[in-house]
Copies of this chain bind each other. A is one copy, B any other.
Amino acid sequence: MSSLRDVAERAQVAVSTVSAALNGTRPVAAATKERIEQAAAELGYRPNVLARGLVSKRTRILALLFPAPRSGFGLTEMQFATGAAEAASERGYHLLLSPENADPIEELRHLTGLGLVDGVLLMEVRLDDERTRWLAEAGFPFSMIGRTREPGSIDYADIDFARMAGDAVAHLAGLGHRALAFFNHSTDGYSAQYGPAIRAGEEFEAAAREAGLGYVGDFRADSAEQGRQAFERLVAEHPEVTALAVMNDHAAVGVIAAVAEHGWQIPRDLTLMLVLSSARVAEMFHPRLTTLEPPSAELGRLGAGMLIDRLTGDGDGPPRQRLVACRLVTGDSSAPPPVDRTERRDNSAAPPVDRTGGRR
């Protein structure tokens, strides 16, 4: 690989002049500059990132800290990475994929001590997250995909949960539903600190109240079996509910099975929609489910983008904080509520051709 010195020799100038010409850090006479650029092109010169980083203290490398894939780690989370990598690439940066081991703080200490990365991108941020505290204290540049309970002046890109809930409720209310239920993630273990679950729950309740709709929000389901049970309880305790939004893909599987066992059909007897699931997942179901698709790649892009902004621009400008709307993808699982469900319930032995979801 040719170096700055090779270019300097070929262009008959000093090394420092080449550096200045190529980076534009100092004025260089037009003629000289052209000569240098030609020499560089002829040699196929590429600046060595390591040498540059060593002296300038800036490597143009970002690290995305990603947690060990828990079960339930899906396409959505992965798109943070691809979105961030693309945004970084477009701006001349690189993205390091850094798996988080058992001790995230030790991992951070290691990563930042390497001198390899200019900034860190955090995902799967919990409402109370020790990583943000450590990074802030260490004064290391970072941004979040998601956010803590009190983001303060930390940069972040997150889902606009209020708007998402508003859109969902508007969609259902627009179809004529008067009472809806929301199956959230379970509150135990990881989810206790899981921002999306908590924020979605709160916002759904608020949106339903504002729209003057009946609302059942205290059901949880993270698996098919839990989804099934939750549905059974829902039907027993809240027969007025005609529309259901589910957070967890697996729970939806259970709900759908239970609905069928009841002799009900979707969407004739129940409107079912996913929340924060990608359209690719939603269309695996039958009928194709309506979903509010999270803007995952966009969040990744934004997270990386604002981190680069912070790195290249003023280090202590105002916080960059963005909330992004979800996309409502209407499937075949949304419909007006049944006029009289008890009547329909008896009607369950419909011709099989009807069972495919109706709208296709």
Q: With an 8 A cutoff between CB atoms, is A319 at the interface?
A: no
Q: Which residues of chain A in 22-77 are interfacial with respect to chain B, using CB atoms and an 8 Å cutoff?
A: 44, 46-51, 53-54, 59, 61, 64, 66, 69, 74-75
* A99/B82 in contact, CB under 8 A: yes
Total copies of the chain: 2
Q: With an 8 A cutoff between CB atoms, is A1 at the interface?
A: yes
* B94/A352 in contact, CB under 8 A: no
A360 to B99, CA, bound (A): 37
* A49/B114 in contact, CB under 8 A: yes
* A261/B96 in contact, CB under 8 A: no
* B286/A253 in contact, CB under 8 A: yes
Known contacts: A50-B53, A53-B50, A284-B249. The answer to whether A99 contacts B110 by CB under 8 A is no
Residue of B nearest to A289 (CB): B284
- In whole Å, how far is A16's beta carbon from the nearest beta carbon of chain B? 19
| Contact code string A92-117 (vs B, CB < 8 Å = 1, else 0) | 00111111010000000110011110
* A283/B50 in contact, CB under 8 A: no
Q: With an 8 A cutoff between CB atoms, is A85 at the interface?
A: yes
- In whole Å, how far is A99's beta carbon from the nearest beta carbon of chain B? 5
Residues of the B chain whose Cβ atoms lie less than 8 Å from the Cβ of A79:
69
Residues of the B chain whose Cβ atoms lie less than 8 Å from the Cβ of A53:
50
* B99/A89 in contact, CB under 8 A: yes
Known contacts: A54-B51, A82-B66, A256-B286. The answer to whether A89 contacts B75 by CB under 8 A is no
Q: With an 8 A cutoff between CB atoms, is A353 at the interface?
A: yes
Residues of the B chain whose Cβ atoms lie less than 8 Å from the Cβ of A352:
260-261, 263, 348-349
* B69/A82 in contact, CB under 8 A: yes
Q: With an 8 A cutoff between CB atoms, is A155 at the interface?
A: no
Q: With an 8 A cutoff between CB atoms, is A281 at the interface?
A: yes
* B95/A96 in contact, CB under 8 A: yes
Residue of B nearest to A262 (CB): B352
- In whole Å, how far is A225's beta carbon from the nearest beta carbon of chain B? 10
A49 to B115, CA, bound (A): 6
Q: With an 8 A cutoff between CB atoms, is A209 at the interface?
A: no
Q: Which residues of chain A in 283-320 are interfacial with respect to chain B, using CB atoms and an 8 Å cutoff?
A: 283-286, 288
Residues of chain A at the chain B interface (Cβ within 8 Å)? 1, 44, 46-51, 53-54, 59, 61, 64, 66, 69, 74-75, 78-79, 81-82, 85-86, 89, 94-99, 101, 109-110, 113-116, 224, 249-250, 253, 256-257, 260-261, 263, 280-281, 283-286, 288, 348-349, 351-353, 355-357, 360
**Closest A-B pairs by Cβ, 7 of them:** A46-B113, A78-B78, A284-B284, A48-B115, A85-B97, A49-B116, A50-B54
